[in-house]
């Protein structure tokens, strides 16, 4: 019985271990493509919208970094890798991370994938033309629209 209890405790401790934070993105390192622009973030359920600056960087199509700021404050910082993701909302002091693909509710982490032409979850729609781009979560009405400077 003791052995079973110890085994369960060990499995529980290992299973609850948090994912390690992703290494900081060094956007000046070779292989990064960086874009700057303007965006409007329409929050879910049409609550309100926030205009600001967007910085988006991709590295070899396998790693991405996105930041949305309302100068001088960052509102969203996010990263994805082939194995994980993390997003931070500094004004709310919130940080989320996980392995695999990011959750659909974190729209910002799908912006790099949309721009690279990767498949998006069925809940999302993407449109891009000469005037700009728009990414939307059709389930909750949240969207991001903007453009990148040439």
Average pLDDT over residues 39-49: 89
Average pLDDT over residues 59-69: 93
Beta-bridge mates of residue 1 = none
Beta-bridge mates of residue 68 = 54, 76
Average pLDDT over residues 79-84: 94
Domain ranges, ordered by start, for the chain: 32-148
Q: What is the pTM of this model?
A: 0.84
Query: Is 32-148 CATH 2.50.20.10?
Result: yes
DSSP letter, residue 83: S
Residues 78/86, Cβ–Cβ less than 8 Å:
yes
- 7 pLDDT more than 70: no
Query: For residue 19, what pLDDT is reported?
Result: 65
């Amino acid at each position: 019985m003791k052995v079973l209890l110890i085994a369960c405790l060990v499995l529980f401790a290992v299973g609850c271990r948090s994912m390690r934070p992703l290494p900081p993105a060094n956007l000046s390192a070779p292989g990064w493509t960086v874009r700057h622009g303007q965006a409007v973030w329409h929050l879910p359920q049409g609550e309100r919208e926030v205009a600001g600056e967007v910085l988006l960087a991709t590295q070899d199509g396998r790693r991405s970094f996105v930041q949305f700021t309302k100068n001088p404050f960052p509102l969203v910082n996010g990263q994805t890798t082939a194995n994980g993701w993390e997003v931070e909302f500094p004004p709310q002091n919130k940080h989320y991370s996980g392995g695999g693909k990011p959750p659909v509710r974190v729209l910002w982490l799908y912006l790099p994938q949309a721009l690279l032409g990767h498949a998006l979850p069925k809940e999302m729609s993407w449109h891009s033309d000469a005037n700009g781009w728009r990414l939307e979560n059709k389930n909750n009405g949240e969207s991001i629209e903007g453009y990148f400077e040439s």
